[in-house]
Amino acid sequence: MAIPIGSRDVFQYEELPDSGTYFRLLRVMSAVQKEPTENGPPINIDSSVAECELTVWPLEDSPPYHAVSYTWGDSAKTRWIEVNGRPIQVRWNCAYVLWQAHRRSGKDDYIWVDAICINQTDTREKSHQVAEMGKIFANAKCVLACIGPHDKFSRSFFPDLNRHSELLARASAVRNEFPDINSNNKKRFKSATKQIFRARYHSSEPWEPGELMAQFSPIISRPYFQRVWTLPELWLARRAEILCGEDCTPAELMHGLNSLMDWDMPRYRVPKWFKALPLLRRAVALFLRPPGYSPFLIPSGHVMAMAHRPGQKMEPINSISIAASLECQDLRDRVYALLSIVDWVPLEGKQIRPDYERDLFDLVLDMLQRTGGRREYTIPCSADGIRGSISA
């Protein structure tokens, strides 16, 4: 798949028939990839690592596809791929998820990857396509949450998850059935969790909560779980799978593990070696949150988005606090990423629509007015990262 740079014209996008009702889908016909070395992935290499076919479809009449959720990564680290026979340069993370998707499904499945399926240089198309991203992820048969290559924690973590798959799936189901614990369902919730703990203690697989927590903490602290777009992409998924390196596991297992740790933390003493682990404060804040505390206030709590039920929406006020603590390349995305999962109050009959030419400060004020009340927020309100308090 060598591409002599300069010998062929690079890939050029053709305009969509209607960027509000059409979108592009990708098939990865072939892909090669190696895990990054300690010095990082190669930069600007002169051969392609994937051959892809990009086609246009109506949003309402497309073939089944997987939607890819991932972090864009470092813009300085790039690779060449082929799209419709022509070379195009993408970030290393994008090339890596193409390899993961091809390894999982082969060349027959369609996938949607924003960096390729949206013409990122066309602001008008990008605004229209971002407005439809809620529909794109909700209609996907599966969301592939690509969290990156393996490290020393994840190599053993995901096989351990799969060993306890039956138990963790049951825990996830119970958490979904009881998203809020109150006086009306407390008795049923206790009965359900007792059955899970009984099954755990009688399991043929040994249960080592301290070891799993030690592995879980750095995984949920990866950049993927600090990204604002991760929240709606997992929230809207009919089904989600976590892809890490060459491993693939149902997202419900991570959600089930999170639930078990949440319920089980008071039942045993935390050993001294675990107290000394890095990132402990963030992990324990998640595991020990008090009743009624929103898990989404923890940036790494995106794992809880896997628990949502179809049709459920977030409260606008909560979403503002969540988005302010999450990462994105364009600060407008702290609003636009949440449009599909939050019920905003219409102003004069107008809904917020993605517009990447809109002034950021004007967008923030518009968003705050739609919360339906007065409250002070600390929100990044300039591209230079200056933070200020805004009342609305």
Whether residues 221 and 288 share a domain: the answer is yes
Whether residues 184 and 257 share a domain: the answer is yes
Per-residue pLDDT band for 261 (boundaries 50, 70, 90) equals confident
Per-residue pLDDT band for 310 (boundaries 50, 70, 90) equals low
Whether residues 67 and 113 share a domain: the answer is yes
Is 160 inside any structural domain? Answer: yes
pLDDT at 222 over 70: yes
* Most confident by average pLDDT, 204-208, 322-326, 340-344: 340-344
CA dist 263 to 1, 23, 158, 167, 189, Å? 51, 43, 21, 14, 11
Is 8 inside any structural domain? Answer: no
Whether residues 157 and 291 share a domain: the answer is yes
pLDDT at 231: 87
Contacts of 274 (CB under 8 A, 6+ apart): 210, 213, 214, 280
Whether residues 120 and 176 share a domain: the answer is no
Whether residues 138 and 158 share a domain: the answer is no
Backbone dihedral angles phi then psi of residue 22, each to the nearest 5 degrees: -120, 155
Per-residue pLDDT band for 58 (boundaries 50, 70, 90) equals very high
Per-residue pLDDT band for 156 (boundaries 50, 70, 90) equals confident
Query: What DSSP character marks residue 20?
Result: T
pLDDT at 296: 35
Q: Pick from 305, 334, 355: which residue ends a domain?
A: 305
Identify any residues that bridge with 146 across adjacent strands, giving them in sequence order: 243
pLDDT at 271 over 70: no
Whether residues 250 and 194 share a domain: the answer is yes
Is 383 inside any structural domain? Answer: no
Q: How many domains does the chain fold into?
A: 3
The first and second tokens of residue 9, run together, are 């014209």
Q: Pick from 146, 169, 191: which residue ends a domain?
A: 146
Is 111 inside any structural domain? Answer: yes
Q: How many CB atoms neighbour CB 257 within 10 A? A: 24
Whether residues 58 and 192 share a domain: the answer is no
pLDDT at 90 over 90: yes
pTM of the complete model: 0.78
Amino acid at 234: L
Is 11 inside any structural domain? Answer: no
Question: Are 140 and 235 contacting, i.e. CB atoms less than 8 angstroms apart?
Answer: no
Question: Are 51 and 26 contacting, i.e. CB atoms less than 8 angstroms apart?
Answer: no
Whether residues 128 and 183 share a domain: the answer is no
Question: Are 59 and 136 contacting, i.e. CB atoms less than 8 angstroms apart?
Answer: yes
In the chain, what percentage of residues exceed pLDDT 70?
67
- Rounded Cα–Cα distance for residues 188 and 193 (Å): 9
Q: How many CB atoms neighbour CB 46 within 10 A? A: 13
Per-residue pLDDT band for 329 (boundaries 50, 70, 90) equals confident
DSSP string, 358-388: S-HHHHHHHHHHTTSS--EEEEE-STT--EE
Contacts of 97 (CB under 8 A, 6+ apart): 68, 70, 113, 144, 146, 243
pLDDT at 347: 58
The region of weakest confidence among 112-116, 146-150, 288-292 is 288-292
Is 3 inside any structural domain? Answer: no
Mean pLDDT of the chain: 76
pLDDT at 346 over 60: yes
Q: For the chain, what is the largest distance between any 2 Cα atoms, rounded to a whole number of angstroms?
A: 70
Identify any residues that bridge with 247 across adjacent strands, giving them in sequence order: 244
Contacts of 268 (CB under 8 A, 6+ apart): 209
Residue with the bigger pLDDT between 271 and 75: it is 75
Whether residues 161 and 295 share a domain: the answer is yes
pLDDT at 272 over 80: no
Cα-Cα end-to-end distance for the chain:
56
Is 281 inside any structural domain? Answer: yes
With H, G, I as helix, E, B as strand and everything else as coil, classify residue 139: helix
Question: Are 235 and 183 contacting, i.e. CB atoms less than 8 angstroms apart?
Answer: no
Whether residues 118 and 44 share a domain: the answer is yes
Whether residues 171 and 276 share a domain: the answer is yes
Q: Pick from 305, 339, 354: which residue ends a domain?
A: 305
Domain range for 54 is: 22-146
- Rounded Cα–Cα distance for residues 36 and 51 (Å): 20
pLDDT at 162 over 70: yes
Residue with the bigger pLDDT between 13 and 217: it is 13
pLDDT at 87 over 80: yes
Bridging pattern class, strands 78-83 and 86-91: antiparallel
Is 163 inside any structural domain? Answer: yes
